[in-house]
Amino acid sequence: MAKTTHFGYKEVGVDDKQGLVREVFDSVATNYDLMNDVLSMGAHRLWKRYTIASSNVKEGDRILDIAGGTGDLALKFREKVGDSGQVILTDINGAMLEEGRKSLIDRGVFDVEFVQANAERLPFEDNSFDCVSIAFGLRNVTDKEAAIRQMFRVLKKGGCLLILEFSKVENEMLEKFYDFYSFNVMPKLGGLLADDEQSYQYLAESIRKHPDQEALKTMVIDAGFDLCEYQNLSGGIVALHKAIKA
């Protein structure tokens, strides 16, 4: 039998998911920053700021930001590593990569490197980065275990992995409100502001299909990391997993 995986709440062929996800992000790319601000009421910027603060990145470090989208994390990492460091932003989606390039150039940043790459097959040498990050991208990856193994491979010993992703809400009342907002408000706003209700319906569904905090922690440990801890943000709407390659 052909292998299947989830695309939101739908079951699709493993070989089909990547193309379906590409279509979603081709559609949302030009409105991505606006919709993030609107849908999270600006909270995504605080979550990313916390991620940067948790990274322990220093001047001269080499950073890989996977599924880096419009470059929010890459911009902050560039400030921390200075002229002696390097930041590489990858995304599987060409439209998102182009939006990231334009966003950083508009901010006067010209030395971040952009690479179109699949997180499951990273085109980088073993033990070559001090920090690897992925923010709100892992849930869209078809083979998450393979992607995390790739992140482990390219990290230097002692290097840090940061996974910022939507997760399992802790409080029952908050969960009910969040479910209502996700499935009744988010898609409607997507239709109103970006003329794309369907893509935002998928994004809401993809959050629910993503592994919860403990399941993702287990996946990270199984990939080879000796230490992984997570911090819930905004009541578990988002979680930051931080792992160290011993």
Which CATH number is 144's domain given? 3.40.50.150
Radius of gyration of the chain, Cα coordinates, nearest whole angstrom: 17
Q: Is the pLDDT of residue 2 over 80?
A: no
Range of the domain at 102: 21-244
Q: Is residue 78 part of a domain?
A: yes
pLDDT tens, residue by residue, 125-172: 999 999 999 999 999 999 999 999 999 999 999 999 999 999 999 999
By the 8 A CB rule, do 199 and 211 touch?
no
pLDDT tens, residue by residue, 13-52: 887 888 888 888 888 888 888 888 988 999 999 999 999 9
User: Could you write out the DSSP letters of every residue in 155-205?
Assistant: EEEEEEEEEEEE---SSHHHHHHHHHIIIIIHHHHHHHHHS-HHHHHHHHH
Q: Which residue from 92, 89, 237, 76 is spatially nearest to 164, judged by alpha carbons? A: 237
7/83: higher pLDDT: 83
Q: Is residue 63 part of a domain?
A: yes
Q: Is residue 12 part of a domain?
A: no
Distance CA 55, CA 104 (A): 21
- Domains in the chain: how many in total? 1
How many degrees, rounded to 5, is the angle at CA 118 between CA 182 and CA 25?
A: 35
Q: Is residue 237 part of a domain?
A: yes
Q: Is residue 65 part of a domain?
A: yes
Q: Is residue 216 part of a domain?
A: yes
Q: Is residue 5 part of a domain?
A: no
pTM: 0.93
pLDDT tens, residue by residue, 162-216: 999 999 999 999 999 999 999 999 999 999 888 889 999 998 999 999 999 999 9
Kindly indicate the confidence band of residue 1, based on its pLDDT and cuts at 50, 70 and 90. Answer: very low
Contacts of 102 (CB under 8 A, 6+ apart): none
Q: Which residue from 37, 9, 2 is spatially nearest to 203, judged by alpha carbons? A: 9
> Rounded to 5 degrees, what are φ and ψ at 155?
-75, 145
